[in-house]
Structure 1
Amino acid sequence: MLSEEEVAGVLEVLAAAGSDELFCIAIEIAGMRDEPVPERRAFESLLKKAVKDRIIEPVSAQEVKGCSSEKIYIPGPAAFPSVPDELSAVMDILRIKKRKIDWKKVAPSRVNELSGEVDEFTSSIEGLAGGWLNKKKVSQLEKEYGRLMSTCSDFEFWIPADVYGLKTVRAKLQRIKEELSRAGGLISGFTCQA
């Protein structure tokens, strides 16, 4: 069966594909590799995990030109694509053409989503001001900050231009970082319990 990176590689070449198309591609490639045909449920689980890991991103048909499937995926911000050697032949067999991502539609929705996550995180920190935190809670907050920072960095490389508010998200994260630094690695305004 295709790996997550190979699914991202297929999407890198095609720009976008529906889940049914990806499954057909996976079947063709499995045949060329003399591998067992993947089970649909297992393949859908692979796609779900790839979405969770931000290796691929689900988008709507309105966000992609030339693709009308209900469930459409594009390469995600955390993708390190690996294009299967068999893909060119499979594209010819299945008569699949490359699509075009409409970044003017995709980017703002994803940046707004990330900005909302950062705002929610900021609120959760501010809501705890003056409270006592144990090391475990501080560690969880710092881990979440790291995830948000990593996602923002991934977005900066993934989205073609910064006209969609990523600089604002980065500035919010920078303010959180400054608060963490002032507290010596602990969230400002908290006392850490052992």
Structure 2
Amino acid sequence: MKAKVCVFIVGAALWTNVQAAGILFDLRDTAYTSSIEAGSYEVDGVILSLSSPSGVLNQTTSNFGINHAGAGDDTAQIDGDAGAEVLLFSFDTSGVLEALNFSSVGGSDSFRVTKNGAGGLIYSANSVLPNLSFTASDVFEIEHISGNGVSFDSLSITAIPEPSSTLLLGMGGLALLSRRKRTHRIRMLS
């Protein structure tokens, strides 16, 4: 009976560890201004890397976007003031990109979201639910297509734990069970 309880407890611990974790990255959070503008933002152990080939990252309390390099574009939006701006982002883990949230989206605003430079969908909405899986080697791109520009407010992902971590935890649990059984047998023989 004790062995069954131990197996259940280890199984429950493994199941809890395997569960994916939902994470929200709020790009307007002023507590992280220096790290976001430097291109890195960590939440719950997951690192979001941000960059732009068309300018520098710009965050305010209500907006996040790009300032086009040397063109007098001082808005914290992804816009086309000095040419179409592009934001690149990636994660240091695997998971699913659940939602992208924007503000300042007007009737003529549109932007393209692609993964690894392929495909891509054009959106014109405050909330986008791409439901795209990714690995640590994948790069997403948000590109301004038309209109005055949008603020990239937040994104949500579901991080999926690495299989190697889960495997190590499971092996440790099995080793504990094996040791417990061996100790129990030795006591019975004594």
Fold agreement, TM-score > 0.5: no
Task: Identify the TM-score tier after normalising by the shorter chain.
Answer: under 0.3
Higher strand share: 2
**Larger-Rg structure:** 2
**TM-score when normalising by structure 2:** 0.27
